[in-house]
Structure 1
């Protein structure tokens, strides 16, 4: 795929244009109420459109649409995921949140840091805008699929905006800092103190081992832009981490979601088996906090899954996709 620095510029607000993933995908810039920008991507074969894209396979708008929300220092680059949903008659959309991937340049040009904001609560505006476009396309049901940090943002948004989503699927959601309790307490104290007075202070770095292991250049299966999903340690800033930890504490108190939720995790967490275990987060944290999401929560374990279960080697990838598609298919 094209390098981020030579890729086509994001489309004009409101206009769909061919995406960096090729003719089966189109992208649209979403202008947000605070002047920021996110980018919505749609899978042409499964979604309706007036720009050359065809409606769903039966010539009608699909009843169910999925909106994919990526993780930290990440973006949507998963054509196989869109194809899997399309194969079940489900429309597929994805959003690159402000400062990420296709929306990177707009935030950096405005003086912001890529992949980070001072308060992740602002991502609710990105999801509002994306969900509004998806709903306007005529889909009756919206399922939001959040991965990692997206798996934290999505349930908080759904709790604050009842009725916007009809169901949630959370792929390895980031519900707690993957550190021993004393380190978590120290990190919380640090970012609470620093995050307000010096919000851009670098307090940590995102390890690059997992992203490298996934990429074809290093023996993995996947081709993604290393500028948008960094292969080098990426700076984590105080205000952003402060807001993440606050959001995790909010989730831990219970969200009371009234929509069905599916939570999927790998079967193990390790520190070095990047492709077949979760080396980014602790799966035990996810399972423990899943029950605090709401009253209708299903938890599934994917043996041999990596952190992004959709990028797992087979047969774990197939098991993940089957579990998600079957669960959505069984929704009333």
Structure 2
């Protein structure tokens, strides 16, 4: 039995806390957020091409769901929107936990399964509704592998700046992997050097120079500490992507047209990806499957949906155009 309660995003949103298998740190949960519809909104949605679509959004590293406008965009297209805060992130983070820590991205299968079951898309459930996945950054890496491992579950995959490759490229990742794997076995929770200088938070948070209301408990100015086993898990997943996946549904990947990765502040950081090397990621996108669309967007930030208003409209336009081709039919 799923119990829904009011969410921090306001009256149109509600959330459900979903228990997971405890780990060595104790209690573990995921949190599913959904929008509420009025009778008039349900009626309007019933005549849209996406009236039979449920969307599950999965966030990235040092992140949680707060993008009301993203939910509204999907709802305006007729889909039912849901977002999950994975274990040890956002609404699911507990005081006894190491924020964001995991040693194998496949562990999130449990988070995704309980969220989908609450949506009516569980593995043992029967539904005539389609499932679209949208995922950002590390969530994009996680869900690319999930969709690949679970053919037939989703009908489409939308990736928002997916972290498909390490910033210094595949050769650099392969060179570092043996050292990380040793460290992951010996000192899995060892903290790695801090590389977040707070610039990304500066570009998006309304507590600084951005426009978005962000809870600093769940997205600190300089992020969470990263740990050996966590990065080793990311490298393992990225190696699988580099080898090539066989995703069986249409994929849309949205990326900024350029990166600005620097130890010093630059105004260009407001109009580029300052987290990923987007050129390295773009080389990996075609390896996801046979039906893949890559769109590079001028002026986009790392989370393309948080970019300046004119850029966000371009993102919405590109998504709408892709959905017109792949979202109208089963």
Matching residue within 33, 42, 46 for 1:56: 42
- Give the corresponding residue for 2:33: 41
- Give the corresponding residue for 2:298: 303
| Gapped regions of structure 1 (runs ≥ 5) | 1-12, 47-52
CA distance in 1, matches of 2:259, 2:43: 39
Q: Is the 8 A contact 2:62 2:223 kept in 1?
A: no
Superposition pairs of residues 1-332 of structure 1, within 5 angstroms: 14-33=2-21, 36-45=28-37, 56-58=42-44, 62-105=51-94, 108-109=95-96, 112-136=97-121, 140-179=129-168, 183-207=172-196, 208-271=198-261, 272=266, 273-331=268-326, 332=329
1:325/1:33 CA distance change after superposition, 3 Å: farther
The alignment's C-alpha RMSD in Å is: 2.2
Could you tell me how far 1:85 is from its partner in structure 2?
A: 1.1
Could you tell me how far 1:33 is from its partner in structure 2?
A: 4.4
Could you tell me how far 1:148 is from its partner in structure 2?
A: 0.2
Pick which of 299-308 and 228-237 moved more: 228-237
CA distance in 1, matches of 2:230, 2:86: 14
SS of 1:285's equivalent? helix
Any idea what the Cα deviations from partners look like across 1:275-312, whole Å, max 9, x if unmatched? 21001001112211111100000111111000000000
1:211/1:196 CA distance change after superposition, 3 Å: same
- TM, length-normalised to structure 1: 0.87
CA distance in 1, matches of 2:128, 2:295: 27
CA distance in 1, matches of 2:174, 2:52: 45
- TM, length-normalised to structure 2: 0.88
SS of 1:58's equivalent? helix
Could you tell me how far 1:202 is from its partner in structure 2?
A: 0.8
Could you tell me how far 1:54 is from its partner in structure 2?
A: 8.2
Could you tell me how far 1:121 is from its partner in structure 2?
A: 1.2
CA distance in 2, matches of 1:233, 1:38: 20
Q: Is the 8 A contact 1:118 1:240 kept in 2?
A: yes
Any idea what the Cα deviations from partners look like across 1:150-203, whole Å, max 9, x if unmatched? 110011001111122111000100011112667534532321110111100012
Q: Is the 8 A contact 2:18 2:31 kept in 1?
A: yes
SS of 1:275's equivalent? helix
SS of 2:106's equivalent? helix
SS of 1:274's equivalent? helix
Pick which of 247-256 and 131-140 moved more: 131-140
CA distance in 2, matches of 1:41, 1:17: 10
Any idea what the Cα deviations from partners look like across 1:261-285, whole Å, max 9, x if unmatched? 0011001111243221001001112
Q: Is the 8 A contact 2:45 2:76 kept in 1?
A: no
1:183/1:288 CA distance change after superposition, 3 Å: closer
Aligned length: 310
